[in-house]
Amino acid sequence: MAERLTFLWTLGQLKRDHLRDSAEWFLYTIVGSLVPVWGGALLYSIAPGGVPWIRLASHGEFALYSAALLAPAIYVTVTEQEDVSFPRRGLFVFVAVLFLLVSVLIFAGITVLQHVKLIGPVEEKSVALWSLFLFVVSAGLAFVVNLFDNLRRAADIRGIIAQRQMTFERQFDELR
């Protein structure tokens, strides 16, 4: 069975390489996945009269990007590694699924309900800001999941656990 690690202990084990690898993944993921947004912003900036940025997110488009980050984060979180389990797995999965449902509500809910005329016009600025907020939070969650996964895959977990056991034994012996 995989060793269960605590969240705080896992944070203490992270090294500069884990952070660098996750930051690199994050940069490629964010820049690459938002190419349509960068292209739209460029086209809007050269359009006659200019168009506000809010048009790029007024229908909850960033909720789609959130879902695209959350789904693989859920998979990584629930995937068992041979030696170690993902720290605070239940909490991460719960939050990710909750945000995934919110992204469905923001994008699909608003789009479908407006299309079938069950709701009137929505406040586009509010939809854009909520979907952008959801995207930022989802990106942060995906970054942390990637960071912990890098630790799970790269670390000598057995060695770390053995060292932790020896420290506990030494502290116990000192209590006597």
pLDDT digits (tens, 9 = 90+) for 154-170: 656 666 677 778 887 88
pLDDT digits (tens, 9 = 90+) for 75-97: 988 887 666 677 778 888 999 99
| pTM score | 0.73
Residue 106 has pLDDT above 60, yes or no: yes
Residue 138: pLDDT band by 50, 70, 90 thresholds?
A: very high
The arithmetic mean of pLDDT across residues 136-152, rounded, is 87
Rounded to the nearest integer, the mean pLDDT of the chain is: 80
**Is 82 strand, coil or helix?**
coil
Q: Cβ contacts of residue 157 below 8 Å, gap of 6+? A: 3, 83, 84
The radius of gyration of the chain's CA atoms, rounded to the nearest angstrom, is: 21
Share of the chain above pLDDT 90, in %: 17
Per-residue burial over 104-125, b = 16 or more CB atoms within 10 Å of its CB, e = otherwise: eebbebbeeeeeeeeeeeeebe
pLDDT digits (tens, 9 = 90+) for 29-75: 888 888 888 888 888 888 777 667 777 777 888 888 999 999 999 99
- Between CA 74 and CA 22 the distance in angstroms is 16
Q: Which two tokens stand for residue 54?
A: 């809010």
**Is 84 strand, coil or helix?**
strand
Question: Which amino acid does the sequence have at 100?
Answer: L
Q: Where are the alpha helices (DSSP H) in 79-176?
A: 89-104, 110-115, 124-154, 157-175
Convert 5-47 into a string of H (helix), E (strand) and C (coil): CCHHHHHHHCCHHHHHHHHHHHHHHHHHHCHHHHHHHHHHHHC
- Between CA 99 and CA 137 the distance in angstroms is 9
Residue 2: pLDDT band by 50, 70, 90 thresholds?
A: low
- N- to C-terminal Cα separation, the chain: 32
